[in-house]
Structure 1
């Protein structure tokens, strides 16, 4: 599965009307689209096709939105190989907006090609194809001459790595969003659901992220444990605290000093949630005793350790 869309933007020294004409007039598309003509009524709900010099279909789809000269949305299917033709249709959206006025009209052209998650061959083909097409469009409208035929300048990419990078970005976003709900508030049922959704989303993406290590897995399990402990789900919190500890053990020397402190904190909080205060007190003390070399890391950890809930555990006495 390919996880990302393609977004290409250009500033073109031409009016929106001229750019729109270049997108929809077959005599113009033929000039900059390397001999390929678009054929369509350009009415919403109807088909369109791009054909080569031999009148062979190379792209087809259905027009979803036609708002001249502002926005054009269409499904998209490449036909010049069986691998491409067999993939599900994707979706292309053109948006035109004014940047400058006549006589110095400039149009901001945005082309977004999405719905590519199940179409890796299309994804790989258009990732270099669209920038070439838009550069040729820009050259044609500004100088009267399109780009010459050019070859793709790089080889195929590892779609798995692209997907992994996307998971990594989503993991960071989800993890950071968890902290927005760990602000000491009294959680409503909706808040509680949202907190767990975010925590599990962070763990889900980190388990699939490019370059994810046992340390990342430990931290992902920790955030799930913290979310459950905050909501009073002691048994589940304790389970994920143990998972975090297991990942950290496998990480060995790759773990930071504060990671071990957080593992103890997670177990202590889960035990306190379960009313096992004597055990919680001992583990809390172990969390406090972990040496953290960096002063800022130590300060952040102590702040997190001080934050509730501690379910009746006297943290001052435990210190």
Structure 2
């Protein structure tokens, strides 16, 4: 008999709690982890939790829990946020053309999947941010043509729907265009977009937003662009 499924957020919290408990040597948690206790990862904790609920894997568990949600809209939003955050984590953990094919595919498909979910529940700002994520991922895995196409789409959305955007969306759009152009070898165009991104970043009202943009602008690769 399967256990009653809690919310998706609760399942995520339970998996993280199990991982932390195993790391601290909690006997009950170690028993639940079994042979996988050494070097126990979040993904392994999710698998243990899924099997405890009577499912073969985490994705099956998440899907079943999602079926219980009152509105499909909530499920789309949850996946959009999760995929967005997971893909940015991969980019920031040195994703590159030298990463394994599986790593590159996971990141790129995750970015596209996030965009699809945002198209179901988001607004123009969410769409623009999703296009920026696809572009950033494509740059990271060595697909400059793909990166440039999505960077330009991001910039188009920001330009056509200014009322939906935060001030930092304009800075991110310029940064994305600069990086994609640099990756594609369009150095002069890249330099212009980079100068605009820096100017927009300096003018941001929020210190936290400004810090995020400054860190993004400082991050490689810039393909030799100063």
Give the structure-2-normalised TM-score: 0.67
In the alignment, the residues of structure 1 paired with residue 6 and residue 224 of structure 2 have an alpha-carbon distance, to the nearest angstrom, of: 56
Aligned counterpart, 2:208? 296
Task: Give the direction of change, closer, same or farther, for the CA distance of 1:116–1:249 in structure 2 (3 Å limit).
Answer: closer
Match of 2:19 in 1: none
| CA spacing shift, 1:295–1:188, aligned 2, 3 Å | same
The separation in 2 between residues aligned to 1:194 and 1:284, in whole angstroms, is: 28
Matching residue of 1:264: 174
Residue pairs, 1:25-104, within 5 angstroms: none
Instruction: Find the counterpart in structure 1 of residue 117 from structure 2.
Output: 205
Q: Tell me: CA distance 1:189–1:116, structure 2 relative to 1, closer, same or farther (3 Å).
A: closer
Write out per-residue CA displacement over residues 227-266 of structure 1, whole angstroms, 9 at most, x where no aligned residue. Answer: 0011221111111011111222232222111100010111
Larger radius of gyration, structure 1 or 2? 1
Equivalent positions of 1:42-191 (< 5 A) are: 114=64, 162-183=71-92, 185=94, 186=96, 187-191=99-103
Q: Aligned to 1:252, which of 152, 159, 162?
A: 162
Select the structure that is richer in helix.
Answer: 2
Distance 1:257 1:193, change over 3 A: same
Structure 1 residues 184 and 115: alpha-carbon distance in aligned structure 2, compared to 1, 3 A threshold: closer
- Summarize the Cα distance change of 1:236–1:301 in structure 2 as closer, same or farther, 3 Å threshold: same
Q: How many residues align?
A: 167
Aligned to 2:130: 220
Return the alpha-carbon distance in structure 2 between the equivalents of residues 192 and 116 of structure 1. 27
Q: Does the aligned pair in 2 maintain the 1:221–1:244 contact within 8 Å?
A: yes
Distance 2:93 2:165 in 1: 28
Q: Deviations over 1:135-182 (max 9, x none)?
A: xxxxxxxxxxxxxxxxxxxxxxxx7xx111110011000000012211
Determine the structure 2 residue equivalent to 1:193. Answer: 105
Alpha-carbon shift at residue 8 of structure 1 (Å): 6.5
Unaligned runs of 5+ in 2: 8-52, 54-62
Q: Compare the two structures and name the one with the higher strand fraction.
A: 1
Work out the CA distance in 2 between the residues paired with 1:274 and 1:250: 25
Q: Is the 8 A contact 1:175 1:202 kept in 2?
A: yes
Matched with 2:5 is 7
Instruction: Check if 1:280 corresponds to 2:193.
Output: no
Gap regions ≥5 residues in structure 1: 1-5, 10-94, 96-112, 118-122, 128-158, 315-319
